[in-house]
Amino acid sequence: MIFTFIFLLVILGSTSSKNINGGFAGLSIGLSLVLIHIVGIPITGVSVNPARSIGPAVFVGGSALEQVWLFIVAPVAGAILAALVWNTLIEKRERVVN
């Protein structure tokens, strides 16, 4: 959930219409995804994309299928939380400043 939250905030910040360095959005998004995987794979086998978790779980079966719900729910919850934080805190602050 935390890694998806961070990743989505990077995406939203990089692609915002207020971002003056929009040409580097791909670089910031790509580097953040690499960093998330470098940090997260040893800890949880990170999955910021729920679709990436479903395929291996289907092939492995057993306990992997029993645990796949967490790899679906957590990234979705992180994305929702990031969207809420972006809309309420960051976008609202930018509207007030302008």
pLDDT at 65: 84
CATH of domain 2-97: 1.20.1080.10
* Residue 94 exposure: Cα atoms within 13 Å on the Cβ side: 11
Q: Can you say whether the dihedral through the CA atoms of 1, 80, 75, 25 is positive or negative? A: negative
- Please report which confidence band the pLDDT of residue 22 belongs to, taking 50, 70 and 90 as the band edges: low
pLDDT at 21: 65
- Please report which confidence band the pLDDT of residue 85 belongs to, taking 50, 70 and 90 as the band edges: very high
Vertex 3, ends 44 and 78: CA angle to 5°?
110
Is this model's pTM higher than 0.85 or not?
A: no
pLDDT at 9: 92
